[in-house]
Structure 1
């Protein structure tokens, strides 16, 4: 069989798998439900800081709110993973959405009645984000349960496409929200979207994951230990997790400085900023659409390594950026390669983790993934006050290249 025939057969297999995916009722339910939740979450993400700023006119309060929303992943991710593994995942997902709707209802009623307490924003913001992580890990687990392993990459690519697309239309959503007579009415939009997902997920037909009887009486700490032991046993996933800790740190550094660099060095208008970030979103869409196809051509290990290298290239372009075109090009390429990288990581985690441990592994790795992000974001701000911001992009590129070299020397290049 020659190369052309092999390529043709691969394309036929890919086309057949894609058709099978679209015929699966559970996949369609998950896609519709997740689309609604992604839209509602985006509206919430835009409305909350606007409400806080309208109330306080304080950037400090807004920054503190961001920190409060970041805490649940660091503090609770591992425990959330245990809950996901201990309960029926469909029921857990529905309960999570119900509680989020209640929390938003309390905040909405409080604002409407004139009781605009900052402390209430902090409390509800913390628990809403904690529940969002509950939703995220439950979704990861359910996808593992109901989607055939051969279709996981394709399914995750579709979910990533929807999330990225909603991110692109963020400016349009912002304009719609600002046109509302009352900003708090944006919370109603989020509630309706969450309620839509709540209804859709009732039709999900998932097999209840198996929990061995002897493990039902384990303590939470024993459950966490079991997840940790499994992660360490899965040597490849453990090494990939360590790699992601550092790639996320460089990504956090890059993301936190792009807006400052664009405004400070090139004085871009709000419209121009929105344009370049929309182009970055288009890159993410292209990455989401192409991952399934590319993963059929390259083994996961090589694809992950190549994207790490190419992300470095995107950072270097930002270092040499002399106008808005190069800023847009850098963000576009970073969007493509980061999207492919993320889909590969999450798919590999799903494929190589036993179903009854997927919640714990997602929680543990999710927390570890974010370890370097706060430090890189905080440190980049201080460094940018001392040196030209563009050198931070050069630093991010060099760090990513070093990560690539380390990755190349590890036993990960030939992962399937």
Structure 2
């Protein structure tokens, strides 16, 4: 049994995040079906994605500034309570004429999440020691994939057996429980930032302070070679995953001759692979360096995707989806741990705000690119491009890692000669 799980604050944070994630998973499957039922429009259901993605792009950078300024624990608690109250308002939606209300709630909820998400990541770094971060992230990954297995199925069952009101109620309760668990996390005096801005009642001065702090966060990424190469690596990864997310549905339907049930099987297979990946990472984290885990596993993920896309068989795809999610989880958890270890504690909010915005842009870019690729070369070739991009991300990271190591060695040699 992991020692990290016996740390009270980490366990409370883990439960808080996963209970909230379970509620989101239930809503994720129920909401599109509910929208489709009352409108009969697939486009109306797809519009939810825009409502949920836009706030992170609009407010991510600004949110990071305030996460660094404010008490992160209070941000999480207030965010959960506000989202619970907002979500509960959806019980009054019962017709297509009130569809606008769902979009407004989704937009505001996602805006609040722009503050909650970086705050929760900063809090993790305050309740777990650096040497235990990889283990903690592995546990979070395993529990998240367990939730991914349970949430959508539970959402479908609640919607089928009960009603959309029941789904809303369950998700509302999950946010309140998350807030309650967060309240009991004891951070002590470790919830303050040593870097404070000079506040002013003058609006122009406040705007200048915010812009200055945003620039500080971006400069941190650009000047730190480890952060910069990791961010570029993740941009390539998420462009690739953006393409796959859009084109995988037509791949299942037109190439594997499957439907919604088969798609659900593949998603479940991926969750099983994710659980195995987190468990395996706990075993091998001391055998391989974090850099080699990122490089090898990102390349391996791309290679397995190539087999999925070019040997169309549902049974083979189910097996390969379990297999490919193992290295996928390993490199994603590893890169997350590397970022956590590298970012200065006084800039974490700004970094994660900027990071979320950049990743959001990368995902949307991949989704837009998927349409262009599908029209010009077809579904399978477009998916192959995405897989090759994943392999390329690992090769890029290998080259930048080698270059960084060589430069570091040269600097040490120069320093020793001067001594």
Q: Same fold (TM over 0.5)?
A: yes
Report the equivalent of 2:217: 227
Query: Per-residue deviation at 1:189?
Result: 0.4
Report the equivalent of 2:135: 154
Query: Per-residue deviation at 1:115?
Result: 9.0
Report the equivalent of 1:4: none
Distance 1:200 1:116 in 2: 37
Distance 1:132 1:210, change over 3 A: closer
Does structure 2 conserve the Cα–Cα contact (< 8 Å) formed by 1:88 and 1:208?
Answer: no
Q: Does 1:304 align with 2:294?
A: yes
RMSD over aligned Cα atoms: 2.1
Distance 1:355 1:53 in 2: 44
Query: Per-residue deviation at 1:213?
Result: 6.4
Q: Secondary structure at the match of 1:103?
A: helix
Distance 1:176 1:287 in 2: 28
Query: Per-residue deviation at 1:44?
Result: 2.0
Query: Per-residue deviation at 1:377?
Result: 1.4
Report the equivalent of 2:66: 83
Q: Which of 261, 265, 270 is equivalent to 1:271?
A: 261
Q: Does 1:28 align with 2:7?
A: no
Query: Per-residue deviation at 1:379?
Result: 2.6
Structure 1, residues 339-395: CA drift from partner, whole Å, max 9, x if none? Answer: 112111211111111222111111111211232221221232343244342112221
Distance 1:413 1:298 in 2: 19
Query: Per-residue deviation at 1:319?
Result: 2.6
Does structure 1 conserve the Cα–Cα contact (< 8 Å) formed by 2:252 and 2:258?
Answer: yes
Distance 1:236 1:213 in 2: 23
Query: Per-residue deviation at 1:105?
Result: 2.0
Query: Per-residue deviation at 1:50?
Result: 2.1
Does structure 1 conserve the Cα–Cα contact (< 8 Å) formed by 2:13 and 2:182?
Answer: yes
Does structure 2 conserve the Cα–Cα contact (< 8 Å) formed by 1:33 and 1:197?
Answer: yes
Does structure 2 conserve the Cα–Cα contact (< 8 Å) formed by 1:81 and 1:360?
Answer: yes
Can you give the 5+ residue segments of structure 2 that lack an aligned partner in the other structure?
200-205, 406-419
Report the equivalent of 2:415: none
Distance 1:329 1:392 in 2: 22
Shift >6 Å, 4+ stretches: none
Distance 2:240 2:63 in 1: 26
Report the equivalent of 1:192: 173
Q: What is the aligned length? A: 396
Distance 2:310 2:344 in 1: 45
Structure 1, residues 24-69: CA drift from partner, whole Å, max 9, x if none? Answer: 1101111111121111111222222122112211111112221111
Q: Secondary structure at the match of 1:268?
A: coil
Report the equivalent of 1:348: 338
Distance 1:27 1:198, change over 3 A: same
Distance 1:240 1:193 in 2: 33
Q: Which of 154, 158, 168 is equivalent to 1:177?
A: 158
Can you give the 5+ residue segments of structure 1 that lack an aligned partner in the other structure?
1-14
Does structure 1 conserve the Cα–Cα contact (< 8 Å) formed by 2:53 and 2:360?
Answer: no
Query: Per-residue deviation at 1:414?
Result: 8.2
Q: Secondary structure at the match of 2:401?
A: coil
Q: Secondary structure at the match of 2:285?
A: helix
Query: Per-residue deviation at 1:169?
Result: 2.1
Report the equivalent of 1:12: none
Q: Does 1:130 align with 2:120?
A: no
Distance 2:182 2:298 in 1: 36
Distance 1:414 1:328 in 2: 39
Report the equivalent of 1:215: 197
Q: Secondary structure at the match of 1:296?
A: coil
Structure 1, residues 164-195: CA drift from partner, whole Å, max 9, x if none? Answer: 11112244213312223321321100001111
Q: Which of 322, 330, 355 is equivalent to 2:312?
A: 322
Q: Which of 284, 289, 296 is equivalent to 2:274?
A: 284
Does structure 1 conserve the Cα–Cα contact (< 8 Å) formed by 2:29 and 2:152?
Answer: no
Does structure 2 conserve the Cα–Cα contact (< 8 Å) formed by 1:44 and 1:187?
Answer: yes
Q: Secondary structure at the match of 1:215?
A: coil
Q: Which of 371, 376, 379 is equivalent to 2:366?
A: 376
Q: Secondary structure at the match of 2:156?
A: helix
Structure 1, residues 225-275: CA drift from partner, whole Å, max 9, x if none? Answer: 121122223211111101110111112212221221111122214333222
Answer with 238-247 or 179-188: which moved more: 179-188
Q: Does 1:42 align with 2:25?
A: yes
Report the equivalent of 2:126: 145
Distance 1:214 1:130, change over 3 A: closer
Distance 2:395 2:336 in 1: 22
Distance 1:180 1:173, change over 3 A: same
